Chains A and B, each alone.
Chain A
Amino acid sequence: MTDFTPVASLIGGLLIGFSALMVMFFHGRIAGISGILSRLLPPWYGMGGVLWRVAFLIGIVVSPFIYQMVTGSAVSQSVSNDKVTMILAGLCVGFGTGIGSGCTSGHGVCGISRLSLRSIVATITFMAFGIITVYIIRHIIGGSA
């Protein structure tokens, strides 16, 4: 079980959205994390726009420590430590967001906000497959609950 946190989640969502607005306002780009990350991976096509993307990702990496300094409470996480499970998950997420041109931020937040049909269909699809996958793992196989 995890606690239902509607207020913190809503405020967190507003912050994510505000960040996406900063990216559009300053750089004129969609704040899609898989896209930003992918741009930094090979094959490389020039150095244009690399600096702000690297800085953006470093900002995400250090943010939990800023959260801990400001609030004084640790960031709690529960992550599977099964090697095969997590490698498989990572491959699927990387491959899927790569050929699907977006993830939760690019399609789910920015795309839906633009009322993009592609992003709406992509979001419904990954939500549905996420739900089906968790259902199979937890309720049919009965694995990690």
Chain B
Amino acid sequence: MVKAIVGFLSGIVFGLGLVLSGMSNPAKVLNFLDIFGTFDPSLIFVMAGAILIVFAGYKLILKRKHPVFAQVFQIPTRKDLDKNLILGAAFFGIGWGIGGFCPGPAISSLLLGSEGIIYFFPAMLVGLTLTKIIKA
């Protein structure tokens, strides 16, 4: 139960960040990507703020013996640049550029009443499930 409450609160903080930053508005994301048009550099500040605090915070947190609710910190260890990483990032970039949604903002938009999210979200779940089956 405590795990669920902490998870819920973390999700709220994450979502508030998405909304306040403007990241949850596809128009703002698409203008960020439109560097030769109606460029809106706001999202650089989102990335900068997030990376700044995570860079500093991870150093402190990872000095601890283990996380509160688990035995070990699970940090990705792979260092190789494989085909899937590049291909996947390319596909993701194309989809991001078409719709203006990445996964977080898509979730925060679920109950905001736009028509587009009704098409986008299930399609995203299909794509994720497909890759999970392929990778299995």
Contact = CB atoms under 8 A, between A and B. Distances in A.
B97 A93 contact: no
A87 B112 contact: no
Interface in A100-124: 100-101, 103-105, 107-114, 116-118, 121-123
Interface residues of A, number: 113
A77 to B, nearest CB: 5
B45 A13 contact: yes
Given A26-B69, A89-B99, A98-B130, A13 B21 contact: yes
Interface string B24-57: 1111101101111110111101111111111101
B74 A29 contact: yes
B13 to A, nearest CB: 4
Given A33-B104, A113-B58, A117-B81, A94 B125 contact: yes
A101 B88 contact: yes
A66 B23 CA distance: 17
Interface in B53-78: 53-55, 57-58, 61-62, 64, 66-70, 72-76, 78
A118 B79 CA distance: 6
Given A52-B4, A63-B11, A93 B49 contact: no
- The interface centre, meaning the residue of A56, A99, A132 with most chain B CB atoms within 10 A of its CB, is A99
